[in-house]
Amino acid sequence: MKPRTPPGRIAYVDGRYSRHFEAGVHIEDRGLQFGDSVYEVCRVEYGALCDLSEHLDRLERSMREIAIPMPMSRGALTHVMGEVVRRNKVGYGLIYLQITRGCLRRDFQIPARCRPTVIMTAHELDRAIIAQRRSVGVKVVTLPDERWGRCDIKTTQLLAGSRAKTEARSRGAFEAWLVDGEGFVTEGASTNAWIVEGAGRIVTRNLSHAILPGVTRRVVLEAAAAQKMDVIERKFTPQDAAAAQEAFITSATGPAIPVVEIDGYRIGTGKPGAITGKIAEIYANISINRQT
């Protein structure tokens, strides 16, 4: 059964704009057969793409790491992204971009040459839902990190993250924080994880192969440093999080969403904290100036 989509929604696949429910890729596309593909999710505000340069930087890095060539120039890619937003009449929402290695005879060996497939979709976000999460906060649970060893590459190999998110929702939580073999939080199933210590210091895990270098994460770090806020990148445990003054998550979908409970333990007062609110406000102010 095909998923229901709003009438008039448009997708871009391999050089063509088509109705969303008619779009598709070849059965031997390596993105389908092997998860041999990378992706980006970019927020749209007032019809403009936010943090686009950072997203394209990360896209190019991911593609270099697994040797997929860029299918078109940055300028052309930006034009298509803007056109997908325009054709879908997205004012506040997300654009999803996926690049696969393309359609090739099924073989485990990665081919020396390829013709990448480009896929784009876009949709609106519900402002009311995002606002509610910011006003009351969300709950998280911790789960073992079962993902592959190169989480710094934004590939479409998302089954482990999807399983973790599903388990979190079944336990009444919004997100899962993944914990490595040494007992440290890596990141959320689809977000970066942050805590605020009692002295007001903001902590998030340092970059490595274990976590995705989130674009929103990077912007928040830069913005907090510019405001002379105390920020450090280091590992922390679920116990550190449970004892924290505040906690929050960041992603393109919702920058600085407060976390008020972890594994059933209340964080701080159990309500969104002042520092998380300040981060969200700073991000909102600078985000307007970072649009295309």
Q: What is the pLDDT along the chain (292 residues), one digit of tens a residue?
A: 455 556 689 999 999 999 999 999 999 999 999 999 999 999 999 999 999 999 999 999 999 999 999 999 999 999 999 999 999 999 999 999 999 999 999 999 999 999 999 999 999 999 999 999 999 999 999 999 999 999 999 999 999 999 999 999 999 999 999 999 999 999 999 999 999 999 999 999 999 999 999 999 999 999 999 899 999 999 999 999 999 999 999 999 988 999 999 999 999 999 999 999 999 999 988 765 555 5
CB 205 within 8 A of CB 233: yes
C-alpha span between 84 and 120 (Å, rounded): 7
In a domain, 251, yes or no: yes
Q: What is the CATH number of the domain that holds 101?
A: 3.30.470.10
**Residues identified as active-site:** 154
Name the pairing type of β-strands 257-262 and 138-144: parallel
Domain count of the fold of the chain: 2
Residue-level pLDDT at 260: 98
In a domain, 243, yes or no: yes
231, 273: one domain: yes
CB 241 within 8 A of CB 194: no
237, 200: one domain: yes
Picking from 33, 2, 1, the residue whose alpha carbon sits closest to that of residue 117 is 33
121, 139: one domain: no
Token pair belonging to 29:
């596309």
In a domain, 151, yes or no: yes
Q: What is the CATH number of the domain that holds 167?
A: 3.20.10.10
In a domain, 1, yes or no: no
In a domain, 56, yes or no: yes
107, 153: one domain: no
C-alpha span between 70 and 31 (Å, rounded): 15
211, 72: one domain: no
89, 137: one domain: no
Residue-level pLDDT at 292: 54
Is-above-0.85 flag for pTM?
Answer: yes
In a domain, 228, yes or no: yes
C-alpha span between 279 and 284 (Å, rounded): 9
Q: Degrees (nearest 5) of the Cα angle 114, 36, 49?
A: 90
C-alpha span between 199 and 126 (Å, rounded): 35
Residue range of the domain that includes 274 = 130-290
To the nearest 10 degrees (0 to 180), the angle between helices 215-226 and 52-65 is: 130
